[in-house]
Chain A
């Protein structure tokens, strides 16, 4: 005891020092080779679920698709620092691909030696499985429609089952984890013989006055009570249910999602199921013919399918990793298995994501930077300060008030060019008042977009007269709209709301990032002065902001849309009735038909005309109010080489180099 008493002070000091050392160890993070600000905290690193620019940058570092977008050889000589460099899809996980003559069948030949970060080879099977997961209704991927070009993909995603169709049925209670769609439970594959439907609920009747939400709810509940009789062709038992007794190949099962609601049949004899989906392998146009060969069948010729494949939603995910850890745990740095140029070393919320070079990446020799930090910085001012203090090498967001000044004092570090991006306001057409197209047009005409570009954004943005930004070869936009407050108030009067009389108040939702509020405040005054309508503002954080739009719980919400691929279609097909990205409640049959027709049109010129007609409908109906077209705004340190401008503002990290020796102050940036 006396010994302990004597030793205590020393022990206490030692403990103090140890904890101090432990605490300090967090502060001395070795510096990364290259650091950039990545805007908002990313919501997920799961390619099938992500959406948004910060996610795009991280996922492009972690994963790689069949193809990847890169500039052509020799771009550094061909294009100057102020020019957009075109990018084309080039071989990545697939070494090459063939297209059939009718343009419908793509055969991808997988690259030999392409590996996951755990050492497994990347095969065609991985892609077929990843796309299946993305299309599965429970994944609820916002980008699922990017796969709708495939035969049968939309049917699988929306679970459309018909009598006589081939289906896959997932039995209830056979999953490892009820909340995880993968690994799946026992799957019974077969053919639907009959579907017994109880009478339609009153909400679905044509003359029903129920709102859209109540209708879709009623429809979902109704569909759960359908009873299917399925002829069993094969059974794939799950690990939890290795020997499904009541089911035998060649026999029949009578099943229902919610047996309690199926009134017509005795509930006791029904098999309870989780899902009944079209049979993926039989109906959806993607097949791994061998581990080296992926065959994709499209509904029709799609000129830009190679661009889609090079865009992150179609990137593969590792089945073993996803099934073992479940979603979203598999994207944690310690679990993540990826196939891109980088792996995630760690992720600190509200601080950074550290990316380290993936030694198993096939093109590993080309990757120059060993360690990259993607900083999560919410404020544009903080970004600028970090850049000026040399804490980051590349700033992706800048405070608008400072832009003219920055352009003036460091023109060499401020490359800027027009982008294929539109800043717009979504209008929720299911809200009273806003359901009237004339009101929406009036709202559009009453915004002085030129004033917003000149006073607020100030980086050379172009006031948007229509939706699709200029600069897409071969596309002539329909006649757009100009600022016209007189016509706007006339339209509002025609709609039955003279000077806003009787129009319910409108609320603008925006995410709290610096310029969005200022723009909303400006538009608030414009609408008030020009139309006499009351407008409220509501700034929310990013997650809530996405949520509100998803649930159609807003009046008007800001949004930005960056081209996923350089084609007008990327700005138009998201507004079709079935698109998850629509989020306005707007549905127009003519528009859908035109977009679909344009998708199947082989002649480029005619296709562009169809798209133009579709855009004309979009402008006429105004479910969205385009405000301006972006220009890219980046600050890049002179020692960063291999950075170039392009119309989508994507900058492959694999091409970047850092050269501190050959960067005299004031030399050309990229």
Chain B
């Protein structure tokens, strides 16, 4: 039989086949998981709640809230129950503008200063500028906000003026608005949770993956190190580290590098929370490292680093993500606990932990100022529930054995 060259007809048939193939989308693991997650309504509500929470927390400075730290310390406002009393931000817009103008002028003068100007003049100008900036009402009401926060506060003032939401969640011992404190506390608590989770993700995953893949005595040494850290009482380590790092000379040196108290606190928590993560990841990697795709990668000439980070870690991401959603609540509770011990955020900054701590003080059989417990407690509890439901949902969704559900 003569070899026939493909006819036009054949070619168009192949083309059709190709087109059909192109239209069929393979279902990736992630797509599959997402599809399954969407069916789990509890997890989805939790997910949207968390997204909304993160967005509100981020845009808190923009919301027409009262100042979270301004004390209305008089007899009427101390422990004022929830009410609708009209209240305005305690500063004059003109003053703020005036100060800003003056600060801008000083900054301009500083810039215009010739390079050969005497150092004293320059230093004086800097001091003036720093003093002007500190006098700004925003600093007084919002404890030295950063650039982005300042911009949002400015936008808030431009849109809402000095108007604020009344104290619908009551006021605390020093006459501070509980609603504002819950919102601002969310920022700290969420950052603590997220950042600690991130640090633990980076350290824990790479440490565990390296140990698992390299094996042998490297693995033994690395994991024994983790065991040693595990055996040290956790609270003790945190208290020791924070006490050590907040010693004045150490603190000043760190501050010169831009690491402040709260940053140290984040790092410390993250640095400790990676231990379990390292163990979990190591176990997974050991079970994966003899799979054929690893051999294939090695045959292709990939080094250990590439195999670990490019081929192995993506395969354990499911478990890592699930574990993270379970870590965040525990870190947030731990922050609450540390604030309770006086080691967490420093006043006038707030966190949910600190608010809960203040709430605990006023539950006695003699009198209960319930709004100090209820609202921060509600916020913390709802977030923790949401994270737990989402973690549960993700675990189910990412579990390959449950594909047929």
Pick from B73, B127, B246: contact of A455, CB under 8 Å: B73
Residue in A closest to B140 when the chains form the complex, CB atoms? A528
| Cα distance, A522 to B348, chains bound together (Å) | 10
A517 proximal to B (CB < 8 A) = yes
User: B71 touching A522 by the CB < 8 A rule?
Assistant: yes
Do A537 and B71 touch across chains, with their CB atoms under 8 A apart?
no
Dominant secondary structure at the A interface: helix
Which residue of B128, B131, B362 is within 8 Å of A532 (Cβ)? B131
Give the interface segment out of A68-76, A96-104, A116-124, A497-505.
A497-505
Q: How near does chain B come to A307, taking the closest CB pair, in angstroms?
A: 36
Binds A, one of B57-65, B74-82, B180-188, B383-391: B74-82
**A388/B135 in contact, CB under 8 A:** no
- Which residues of the other chain, A, contact B365 by a CB distance below 8 angstroms? 384-385, 388
B 337-367 binary contact with A (CB < 8 Å = 1; else 0): 0000110001110000000000011111111
Render A68-98 as a binary contact track against B, CB cut-off 8 A, 1 for contact: 0000000000000000000000000000000
User: Chain B at the A interface: mostly helix, strand, loop or mixed?
Assistant: loop
CB distance from A206 to the nearest CB of B (A): 27
Contact check, A401 vs B369: say whether CB atoms are below 8 A apart: yes
User: What A residues does B45 contact at CB under 8 A?
Assistant: none
Q: Which residue of B74, B131, B246, B364 contacts A385 across the interface (Cβ within 8 Å)? A: B364
User: Shortest CB–CB separation between residue A40 and chain B, in angstroms?
Assistant: 14
Complex Cα gap A406–B174 (Å): 20
B248 in the interface (beta carbon within 8 A): yes
How far is A399 from B247 in the complex, measured between Cα atoms in Å?
A: 30
Q: Which residues of B contact A539 (CB under 8 A)?
A: 342, 346
Within 8 A of B (CB), among A162-176: none
Given the interface pairs A401-B361, A501-B130, the reply to whether A517 lies near B366 with Cβ below 8 Å is no
A544 to B135, CA, bound (A): 33
Per-residue 0/1 for A530-556: is the Cβ within 8 Å of any B Cβ (1 yes, 0 no)?
001010111111001000000001000
CA A301 to CA B73, docked complex, whole Å: 49
Contacts A388-B365, A525-B71: A499 and B135 contacting too (C-beta < 8 A)? yes
A8 to chain B, nearest CB (A): 32
8 A Cβ contacts from B112-159 to A: 127-128, 130-131, 134-135, 140, 144
| Across-interface contacts of A520 in B (CB, < 8 A) | 347
Q: Are B131 and A521 within 8 A (Cβ)?
A: no
Which listed residue, B75, B173, B364, B367, touches A454 by the CB 8 Å rule? B75
Q: Is the CB of B348 within 8 A of A381?
A: no
Whether the pair B342, A540 counts as a contact (CB closer than 8 A) is yes
**CB-defined contacts of A501 to chain B, threshold 8 Å:** 127-128, 130-131
Residues from chain B with Cβ under 8 Å of A454 in the complex:
75
Tell me whether B231 is interfacial, beta carbon within 8 Å: no
CA distance A540 to B338 in the complex (A): 12
Identify the closest chain B residue to A452 (Cβ).
B73
> Are A456 and B243 also in contact (CB < 8 A) when A384-B366, A388-B365, A522-B73 are?
no
- Indicate if the CB atoms of A512 and B366 lie closer than 8 Å: no
- Whether B342 pairs with A381 at a CB distance below 8 angstroms is no
Residues of B within 8 A of A529 (CB): 140
Cβ contact of A537, chosen from B144, B346, B360, cutoff 8 A: B346
Please report the C-alpha to C-alpha distance between residue A540 and residue B261 in the assembled complex, in whole angstroms.
Answer: 14
* A: number of interface residues (CB 8 Å): 42
Bound form: Cα–Cα A380–B70 in Å: 26
Report the nearest A residue to B246, measured CB to CB: A538
A451 within 8 A of B: yes
A514 interface residue (CB < 8 Å to B): yes
Shortest CB distance B230–A (Å): 25
Residues of B within 8 A of A499 (CB): 131, 135
Q: For residue A522, which residues in chain B have a CB less than 8 angstroms away from its CB?
A: 71, 73, 174
Question: How distant is the Cα of A536 from the Cα of B342 in the complex, in angstroms?
Answer: 14
Q: Which of A401, A402, A405, A532 contacts B134 (CB 8 A)?
A: A532
In the assembled complex, the Cα of A502 lies from the Cα of B134 at a distance in Å of 11
| A524 in the interface (beta carbon within 8 A) | yes
A481 neighbours in B (Cβ, 8 Å): none
Q: Of all chain B residues, which has the CB nearest A388?
A: B365
Residues of B within 8 A of A553 (CB): 247-248
Indicate if the CB atoms of B360 and A381 lie closer than 8 Å. Answer: yes
- Least Cβ–Cβ distance between B144 and chain A, in angstroms: 8
Inter-chain residue pair count (beta carbon < 8 A): 96
CA of A180 to CA of B340, assembled, Å: 38
Query: In the complex, are the beta carbons of A456 and B366 less than 8 A apart?
Result: no
| A61 CB to nearest B CB, Å | 29
The CA of A597 and the CA of B342, in the complex, are separated in Å by 44
Asked whether, in the complex, the Cβ of B174 is within 8 Å of the Cβ of A455, the reply is yes
Output the nearest chain B residue to A507 by Cβ-Cβ distance. Answer: B248
Residue A518 is within 8 A (CB to CB) of chain B in the complex: yes
Flag if B173 contacts A500 (CB, 8 Å).
no
> Chain B contacts of A379 at CB under 8 A?
361
Is A349 among interface residues, defined by CB-CB distance under 8 A? no
Question: Please, how many angstroms separate the alpha-carbon atoms of A455 and B75 in the complex?
Answer: 7
A544 to B247, CA, bound (A): 11
User: Nearest Cβ distance between residue B359 and chain A, in whole angstroms?
Assistant: 11
Residue of B nearest to A406 (CB): B366
**Residues in B whose Cβ lies below 8 Å from that of A24:** none
Q: How far is the CA of A538 from the CA of B130 in the complex (A)?
A: 24
Within 8 A of A (CB), among B187-245: 243
Considering only residues 295-314 of chain A, those with a C-beta below 8 Å from chain B are none
Question: Does A409 reach chain B (CB closer than 8 Å)?
Answer: yes
* CB contact under 8 A between A536 and B134, given known A384-B366, A388-B366, A406-B366: no
Chain A residues with CB below 8 A from B69, complex form: 525
Residue in contact with B173 in the complex, picked from A456, A534, A541, CB distance below 8 Å: A456
Q: In the docked arrangement, what's the CA distance between A379 and B73, Å?
A: 24
Q: Which residues of B contact A538 (CB under 8 A)?
A: 246, 346
Chain B, 245-290, CB within 8 A of any chain A CB: 246-248
Known: A384-B366, A520-B347, A529-B140. A401 touches B79 (CB 8 A): yes
- B366 pairs with A402, CB closer than 8 A: yes
Known: A499-B135, A537-B347, A538-B246. A401 touches B128 (CB 8 A): no
Residues of chain A contacted by B367 (CB below 8 angstroms): 401-402, 405
Closest A residue to B367 by beta carbon equals A405
Cross-chain contact B346 with A536 (CB below 8 angstroms): yes
A524 to B173, CA, bound (A): 15
Q: Roughly how many angstroms separate A70 CA and B369 CA in the complex, as a whole number?
A: 42
Query: How far does the alpha carbon of A385 sit from the alpha carbon of B368 in the complex, in Å?
Result: 13
Verify A544–B243 contact, CB threshold 8 A. yes
Contact A455 B78 (CB under 8 A): yes
Contact pattern, A 176-189, Cβ under 8 Å of B = 1, otherwise 0 = 00000000000000
A402 touches B364 (CB 8 A): yes
Q: Establish whether residues A384 and B364, one from each chain, have CB atoms under 8 Å apart when the complex forms.
A: yes
**B131-A500 in contact (CB<8A):** yes
Q: Is the CB of B128 within 8 A of A451?
A: no
Question: Would you call B342 and A541 a contact (CB within 8 A)?
Answer: yes
Question: Which residues of chain B come closer than 8 Å to A500, judged between CB atoms?
Answer: 131, 134
Contact of B131 with A502 in the complex, beta carbons under 8 Å: yes
Contact partners of B173 in chain A: CB under 8 A: 401, 456, 518
User: In whole Å, how far is A449's beta carbon from the nearest beta carbon of chain B?
Assistant: 13
Per-residue interface assignment for chain A, residues 437 to 464, with 1 indicating a CB less than 8 Å from any chain B CB and 0 otherwise: 0000000000000010011100000000
Q: 24 pairs across A/B with beta carbons < 8 Å?
A: A381-B362, A381-B363, A385-B364, A388-B364, A388-B365, A399-B362, A401-B79, A401-B361, A455-B78, A500-B134, A501-B130, A512-B341, A517-B342, A518-B174, A521-B347, A522-B73, A525-B70, A525-B71, A529-B140, A532-B135, A534-B134, A537-B346, A539-B346, A544-B243
Interface residues of A (CB under 8 A from B): 379-381, 384-385, 388, 399, 401-402, 405-406, 409, 451, 454-456, 498-502, 512, 514, 517-518, 520-522, 524-525, 528-529, 532, 534, 536-541, 544, 553
Q: Which residues of B contact A (CB under 8 A)?
A: 69-71, 73-75, 78-79, 127-128, 130-131, 134-135, 140, 144, 173-174, 243, 246-248, 341-342, 346-348, 360-367, 369
Beyond A401-B367, A402-B366: 14 further Cβ-contacts under 8 Å?
A381-B362, A384-B366, A399-B362, A401-B362, A456-B174, A500-B134, A501-B127, A521-B348, A525-B69, A525-B70, A525-B73, A532-B131, A534-B134, A536-B346
Closest 4 CB pairs of A and B: A539-B342, A501-B131, A512-B342, A502-B127
